[in-house]
């Protein structure tokens, strides 16, 4: 058997599983259909590391969320050089009659092990969140919640997994899975057929299709759309924490979200959809998000919005599906990873490794596991003194390519060296093209640097993979 484990899907779930398995003496292959990791649901979300509240203690996702939050806070953020900001969250109410609902959320959170929660009154809110509207009466403060860049989280996990021996193949869509009679699977992807003892399905919106191909067609994934609206960075300090209303039946409601890169965000909606590829935003979605956000913070206006996107939660019932499929021995599904999947991923990874062990995969630790990943330099995150030091060491840090977001030529070069092969890959890693001008000024510079680093003709460079080429012909 050339591979011990093949993982389908390099979103946050597959990336965390790959990194977890890279601790052991195993031959692991991570297959991703897109040109780069993190181009699925894991790029289009709120970037919140949830505390674990708003999930019933009877749910798997509640426990995995609390543990995923702990693993990131206590280990992964430092080990992988991630910019995790533990800003905390508030769940606000507009009527004191709703206090028992906050008490109930607190009690459920306590049962799950969420620490430090406290009910706070209007006087506390005036002192600590002065932009909240007059309708807000009280809130539950949850200090362990925080924010992260979701795609940089995925890239860090993948980079570290690859450093520890995991093989990554992008542009490799799994189109066939055949069971081998004596055990294991043939997996067809990207024009190759691979063999593996174990198959881990972390294919997000397509996990039902992969499970079916492998012989366990036991669930259906429904996309649940969430529209998000990014505000101008000048509104960065509108809130000090992530602001939630009371949750609805299907979602955590419309939030005011701090993001780790500065721009606040409002959203997301939560509506079941039919099409797994429909990432459109709508006028109705915009209105719903504005109404929800303005109810909590009336000073937010439509003109603050600089960008928008939609993401699709892969939903199957109310909980995650994480199990070995006895109908297809050797298949472990990590499916239905709806919210809080970004938060839960490291805990899901530990659970999947344990399921694999229980079904016969020996987990023998490597003599040398490279736990640490150096933190990439981002000018927008460092103080001026550090910027000066970087420029003294390497003047290319002073050569600013993206003026909106303060990104240097060296950061773009570093991103390509770390694996970016598309313009979106550069944007997600560095923020170049993510500002008000949407790349109007910097795209050509970025293409030039990518061409130099990758050695591709400029006509082969794409926004996000084949079919999104920007330049048709190069005239000498």
Ligand X SMILES: Cc1cc2nc3c(=O)[nH]c(=O)nc-3n(C[C@H](O)[C@H](O)[C@H](O)COP(=O)(O)OP(=O)(O)OC[C@H]3O[C@@H](n4cnc5c(N)ncnc54)[C@H](O)[C@@H]3O)c2cc1C
Beta-bridge mates of residue 314 = 223
> Do 447 and 394 form a contact (C-beta atoms < 8 A)?
no
User: Rule CB under 6 A: which of 273-312 touch ligand X?
Assistant: 311-312
Residue matched to tokens 């630790």: 365
Choices 6-14, 108-116, 443-451, 454-462; region in contact with ligand X by CB under 6 A: 6-14
By the rule CB under 6 A, 245 interacts with ligand X:
no
320-339 footprint of ligand X as x/- string (CB under 6 A): -----------------xxx
Nearer of residues 202 and 361 to ligand X, judged by Cβ: 202
How big is the site for ligand X, counted in residues (CB under 6 A)?
42
Output the six-digit token pair for 381: 């995150």
Residue matched to tokens 């996702």: 61
Q: Minimum distance between the CB of residue 32 and ligand X, rounded to whole angstroms?
A: 5
SS3 429: helix
Q: Minimum distance between the CB of residue 349 and ligand X, rounded to whole angstroms?
A: 11
User: Rule CB under 6 A: which of 183-222 touch ligand X?
Assistant: 202-206, 210
Q: Which of 52, 340, 346, 425 binds ligand X (CB under 6 A)?
A: 340
Q: Minimum distance between the CB of residue 133 and ligand X, rounded to whole angstroms?
A: 23
Helix-helix angle 409-417:423-430, to 10 degrees: 110
Q: In terms of Cα–Cα distance, which of 81, 59, 70, 79 is closest to 152?
A: 81
Q: Which of 184, 341, 435, 439 binds ligand X (CB under 6 A)?
A: 341
Q: Minimum distance between the CB of residue 159 and ligand X, rounded to whole angstroms?
A: 16
Taking the C-alpha atoms of residue 403 and residue 166, their distance in angstroms, rounded to an integer, is 36
Q: In terms of Cα–Cα distance, which of 334, 227, 231 is closest to 289?
A: 227
Q: Quick one: three-class SS letters along 300-347?
A: CCHHHEEEEEEEEEEECCCCCEEEECCCCCCEEEEECCCCCHHHHHHH
By the rule CB under 6 A, 259 interacts with ligand X:
no
Q: Minimum distance between the CB of residue 214 and ligand X, rounded to whole angstroms?
A: 11
Beta-bridge mates of residue 226 = 311
DSSP string covering 355-422: HHHHTT---PBPS------PPPP-GGGS-HHHHHHHHHH-GGGGSEEETTTTEEHHHHHHHHHTT--S
Q: Which of 268, 285, 346, 439 binds ligand X (CB under 6 A)?
A: 268
Buried b or exposed e, range 6-16, using 16+ CB within 10 angstroms: bbbbbbbbbbb
Q: Which of 18, 21, 35, 50 binds ligand X (CB under 6 A)?
A: 50
Q: Minimum distance between the CB of residue 34 and ligand X, rounded to whole angstroms?
A: 5
Q: Minimum distance between the CB of residue 202 and ligand X, rounded to whole angstroms?
A: 5
> Do 425 and 35 form a contact (C-beta atoms < 8 A)?
yes
By the rule CB under 6 A, 48 interacts with ligand X:
yes
User: Rule CB under 6 A: which of 122-181 touch ligand X?
Assistant: 173-174
- Active-site entry in 3, 50, 206, 378: 50
By the rule CB under 6 A, 343 interacts with ligand X:
yes
Q: Quick one: three-class SS letters along 153-173?
A: HHHHHHHHHHHCCCEEECCCC
Verify whether residue 324 is a known catalytic residue. Answer: no
Q: Minimum distance between the CB of residue 181 and ligand X, rounded to whole angstroms?
A: 24
Residue 236, C-beta contacts closer than 8 angstroms, at least 6 positions apart: 262, 263, 264
Distances (CA, A) of 202 to 81, 205, 335: 24, 9, 6
Nearer of residues 10 and 404 to ligand X, judged by Cβ: 10
User: Rule CB under 6 A: which of 345-404 touch ligand X?
Assistant: none
Nearer of residues 210 and 423 to ligand X, judged by Cβ: 210
Residue 351, C-beta contacts closer than 8 angstroms, at least 6 positions apart: 64, 322
8-47 footprint of ligand X as x/- string (CB under 6 A): xxxxxxx----------------xxxx----xxxx-xxxx
Residue 76 DSSP code: I
Nearer of residues 112 and 337 to ligand X, judged by Cβ: 337
Nearer of residues 142 and 210 to ligand X, judged by Cβ: 210
Nearer of residues 106 and 225 to ligand X, judged by Cβ: 225
Residues found near ligand X in the complex (CB under 6 A): 8-14, 31-34, 39-42, 44-48, 50, 173-174, 202-206, 210, 226, 228, 268, 311-313, 337-343
Q: State the catalytic residues.
A: 50
């Amino acid at each position: 058997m050339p591979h011990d484990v093949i993982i389908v899907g390099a979103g946050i779930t597959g990336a965390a599983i790959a990194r977890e398995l890279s601790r052991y003496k195993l031959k692991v292959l991570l297959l991703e259909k897109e040109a780069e990791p993190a181009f699925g649901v894991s790029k289009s979300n709120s970037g919140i590391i949830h505390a674990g509240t708003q999930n019933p203690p009877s749910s798997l996702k509640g426990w995995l969320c609390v543990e995923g939050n702990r693993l990131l806070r206590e280990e992964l953020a430092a080990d992988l050089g991630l910019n995790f900001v533990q800003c905390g969250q508030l769940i606000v109410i507009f009527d004191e009659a709703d206090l028992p609902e906050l008490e109930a959320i607190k009690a459920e959170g306590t049962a799950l092990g969420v620490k430090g929660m406290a009910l706070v009154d209007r006087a506390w809110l005036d002192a600590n969140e002065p932009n909240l509207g007059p309708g807000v009466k009280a809130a539950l403060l949850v200090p362990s919640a925080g924010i992260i860049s979701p795609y940089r989280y995925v890239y860090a996990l993948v980079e570290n997994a690859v450093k520890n021996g995991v093989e990554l193949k992008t542009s490799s869509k799994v189109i066939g899975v055949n069971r081998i009679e004596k055990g294991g699977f043939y997996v067809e992807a990207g024009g190759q057929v691979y063999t593996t003892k174990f198959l881990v399905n972390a294919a997000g919106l397509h996990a039902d299709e992969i499970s079916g191909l492998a012989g366990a067609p036991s669930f259906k994934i429904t996309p649940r759309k969430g529209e998000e609206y990014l505000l101008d960075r000048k509104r960065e300090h509108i809130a000090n924490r992530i602001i939630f209303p009371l949750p609805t039946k299907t979602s955590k409601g419309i939030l005011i979200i701090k993001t780790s890169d500065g721009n606040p965000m409002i959203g997301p909606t939560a509506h079941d959809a039919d099409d797994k590829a429909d990432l459109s935003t709508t006028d109705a979605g915009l209105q719903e998000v504005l109404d929800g956000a303005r109810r909590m913070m009336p000073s937010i206006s439509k003109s603050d919005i600089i960008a928008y996107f939609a993401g699709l939660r892969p939903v199957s019932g109310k909980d995650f599906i994480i199990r070995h499929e006895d109908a297809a021995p050797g298949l472990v599904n990590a499916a239905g990873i709806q919210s809080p999947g970004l938060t839960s991923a490291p805990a899901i990874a530990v659970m999947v490794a344990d399921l694999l062990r229980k079904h016969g995969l020996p987990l023998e630790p490597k003599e040398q596991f490279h736990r640490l990943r150096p933190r990439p330099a981002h000018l927008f995150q460092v103080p001026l003194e550090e910027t000066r030091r970087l420029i003294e060491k390497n003047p290319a840090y002073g050569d600013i390519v993206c003026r909106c977001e303060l990104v240097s030529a060296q950061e773009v070069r570093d991103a390509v060296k770390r694996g970016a092969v598309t313009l979106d890959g550069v944007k997600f890693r560095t923020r170049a093209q993510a500002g008000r001008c949407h790349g109007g000024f910097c795209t050509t510079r970025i293409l030039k640097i990518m061409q130099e680093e990758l050695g591709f003709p400029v006509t082969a460079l794409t926004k996000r993979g084949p079919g999104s080429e920007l330049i048709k012909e190069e005239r000498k």
